[in-house]
Each structure stands twice: as C-alpha cells, then as structure tokens.
Amino acid sequence: MSTIEPVRFLDRATPPHIFTLIVLTGLGALSMNIFLPSLPQMTEYFVTDYRLMQLSVALYLAVNAGLQILIGPISDRYGRRPVLLGGVAVFLVATLGCLFAPNIEVFLFFRMMQAVVVVGLVLGRAVVRDMYPADQAASQIGYVTMGMAVVPMIGPALGGVLDESFGWQANFWLLFGLGLLVLVLTWRDLGETARPGSGSFAAQFAQYPELLTSRRFWGYCLSAAFASGAFFAYLGGAPFVGSEVFGLSPSAVGFYFGAPALGYFFGNWISGRYSVRAGINAMILYGAIISAVGLTLSLLFFLIGLKTALVFFGFMTFVGLGNGMVLPNATSGMLSVRPHLAGTASGLGGAIMIGGGAALSALAGAVLTGDGGAYPLIAIMLVTSVLGVLAILYTIRRQRQVQG
C-alpha cells in the first residue's frame, strides 16, 4: 500500500493499530530474554553443563534466522495476516513443549520451535513498510521498536524474580499466557496490508537474486548485522558473566541485564524523532560509533582495574543506544531497496543479521570459562561494533560514488 488507510482499533478490515505491532514484536523479544537469568538454575535442573544450556539461545537464534528466509516470501505471496496468526499458534504449542520437557534434548527441540515467533518481528516491520514511504517508515519502525524496548528492559528482571519465587517454569507459563492474548489481539485487529503475489512460491524465492545483487541491500544488512551482533554476543555471555564472574543472584542478573534495553529505548526515540531530518545513513553511522565508543570505554575501565558489575553492565547502555539508532534505519534501508519485495527483504535481511548473531552468541558461550572474566565477551562485542562502523562507511561511500 502506498498510502496509509484509516486505522480503526480492533477492526480487521483496516490496517493494524501501532499497539498491535508493538506487542507482536515485543512477544518475540520477551521470548528471547525473559528466561536468561534462569540459565544457571536450568543447567542444574536438566543436569547438564552451561555450554549446552546456553544453546537454548544460540539454537533459537539460528532457527530464527532460517525461518526469516521463509517467512518473507510466504508473506509476500499469501499475505501478512495468515502467516502471523499461524506463527503465534505454533509458538503456543512450542511453549507448552518447553514446560513439560523431560530432558535437555527435548527442551532444546521445543525451544527451537519457539523461534517461529519471529513472524512478529519480520512482518511487523514489513507491515510498517507496506503502510509508509521509506523515510517515514524508518521513523515509524523506530517508534514501534521503542515501545518494544520496554519489554527487554523489564523482561530479565521479571524473569529473575519469577525464577526465585516460583522456579524457571514460571517464565514459560507467562509466555504462554501472553501468547494467547497476542493471538486474540492479532485476530481482531490486524487487517491485511500486502497485496498477495500472483506468482508461485518458487517464483517468490526466484526474486532473491534481485536483492542479493544489490550493494545497497548488502550494505544495510551488514550494518545491521554487525551492530546487533554485539548485542547477541551479550545475550549469550552476560548471564554467565553476571552469575559466575560477579556472583549475582538471578534477580540481580535480571536487573542489570536490562541495561542495553534502556539505551535501546532512547536510541529508538532518537530514530523516531530525527530519522526523517538527518537521513538514515547519518543515523546508522552515529549509532555505530556510539556502540564502539561505549565498548572501548568499558575495556579501558577494566584494564585500569575497575572490574565491577556496575561498570560492565553500565557501559552496555551505549550498545543499546547505538542499536536503537542503527537498526530501525538500516531496516528501512533494506526494505526500501526493492519496495515490492518488502516482506522478502525483511526476512532475508533479518536472517543475515540474526544468523550472525547466533554464531556470536554461541562463540560467547564457548569462550567464557571464568578464567578470563568478562574480557572475552567485551572483546567480541568491541570487534563486532567496529565492523559495524566500517560497514556503514562503505555503504555511504558507495552511495556517493553512484550519485556522483
């Protein structure tokens, strides 16, 4: 749709209200991080080791990435609404599987199934792009994800409290209940915003080369992938650092864990407020630099002996702030390269971004042994953030060459 139609809340004959898009994306964010403070306790419950338990993050992200390759073309062919409803329904089944898993292998299987909730993230962005032109879409995506940022701010803290009070299963019961509410809301409010494609499903995949041969598409994808890669490494390693390096309780880990989300909230506010005025490339560059500077300062503080939980988690707000500026604008850039393939671009770009994140999450879990403290995690995040700066600088240079 080139222009937005009038929106009536809880009327599925019109495009969705922004609140519906926020909760759809927020459910995925909550599913990703609410149980992270419980990882050490879940390791004991399933009688396994932390590296295997941490795969509940890495495998989730890997399946998440793979699904995004499928979700985009399917939604471009058949529409956003049926794919969203089906994805949330499968998520509910998978959540029950996690709750009743008798061992770590079964738990990991259903945990991978839970990744289908990524339909909310992929298609929430695509719906915005269906409704708005490029610069305005970046602003609207910023507002949507600013609201979503509240979830990871409170999710780990809530998860830690639930774990200490009722056990790790309480986190998954909460996910199940919220999933039911989101399913009902989506059914009632989300009208179709895409025009279903006329070609075959195979024809949808055949359009991938149109995106993959675009240097602009790759530039925005890599900018988003490297920027978010630092955060995914944090997801994989921060619970270990908090509990094993700093000796924090689950509730304390949950409290500190939300530090990047606080920065992310303000970063998304900045995107929503200034993306149209400054342009998406400038916003991506500034955000990437902020992330790299924050991690550099964190490393310097550790090197001079200030190795505290407050220092480690405090500087992670810079990572969140930078990502809040990078991701909405890089996403809008991806989707605007070929507007008629917005769903495909959202899925493919998200797969590239989260696939790299899965690898970094697994790497963080593998290198953290306790002997090196927080240094390995900070180093991984810093290198990734610097690569994000280089990626957007390359993209800006290529755009100037084309325009020149």
pLDDT in tens, 215-250: 888 888 888 888 888 888 887 788 888 888 888 888
CB proximity list for 165: less than 8 A, separation 6 or greater: none
Q: Do the beta carbons of residue 238 and residue 255 sit within 8 Å?
A: no
Across the range 174-199, mean pLDDT stands at 84
Does residue 204 register a pLDDT over 70?
no
- If pLDDT is split at 50, 70 and 90, which confidence band does 2 have? very low
CB proximity list for 341: less than 8 A, separation 6 or greater: 72, 76, 207, 210, 211
Q: pLDDT: is 336 or 198 the higher one?
A: 336
Check residue 312 and give its pLDDT.
92
Check residue 404 and give its pLDDT.
44
Does residue 353 register a pLDDT over 90?
no
Tokens standing for residue 31: 């599913």
Closest listed residue to residue 226, CA positions, set 357, 121, 363: 357
Q: Do the beta carbons of residue 324 and residue 146 sit within 8 Å?
A: yes
Does residue 342 register a pLDDT over 60?
yes
Arithmetic mean of pLDDT over the chain: 83
CATH architecture for the domain at 18-403: Up-down Bundle (1.20)
For the full predicted model, state whether its pTM sits above 0.75. Answer: no
Crossing angle of helices 259-278 and 134-166, in 10° steps, is 170
Percent of the chain with pLDDT over 90: 26
- Cα 272 from Cα 255, distance rounded (Å): 27
Across the range 37-53, mean pLDDT stands at 86
- Cα 271 from Cα 249, distance rounded (Å): 35
Secondary structure string (H, E, C) spanning the chain:
CCCCCCCCCCCCCCCCCHHHHHHHHHHHHHHHHCCHHHHHHHHHHCCCCHHHHCHHHHHHHHHHHHHHHHHHHHHHHHCHHHHHHHHHHHHHHHHHHHHCCCCHHHHHHHHHHHHHHHHHHHHHHHHHHHHCCHHHHHHHHHHHHHHHHHHHHHHHHHHHHHHHHHCCHHHHHHHHHHHHHHHHHHHHHCCCCCCCCCCCHHHHHCCHHHHHCCHHHHHHHHHHHHHHHHHHHHHHHHHHHHHHHCCCCHHHHHHHHCHHHHHHHHHHHHHHHHHHHHCHHHHHHHHHHHHHHHHHHHHHHHHCCCCCHHHHHHHHHHHHHHHHHHHHHHHHHHHHHCHHHHHHHHHHHHHHHHHHHHHHHHHHHHHCCCCCCCHHHHHHHHHHHHHHHHHHHHHHHHHHHHHC
Closest listed residue to residue 381, CA positions, set 369, 358, 367, 364: 364
Check residue 373 and give its pLDDT.
77
Q: Do the beta carbons of residue 368 and residue 237 sit within 8 Å?
A: yes
Most confident stretch, 47-56, 80-89, 356-365: 80-89
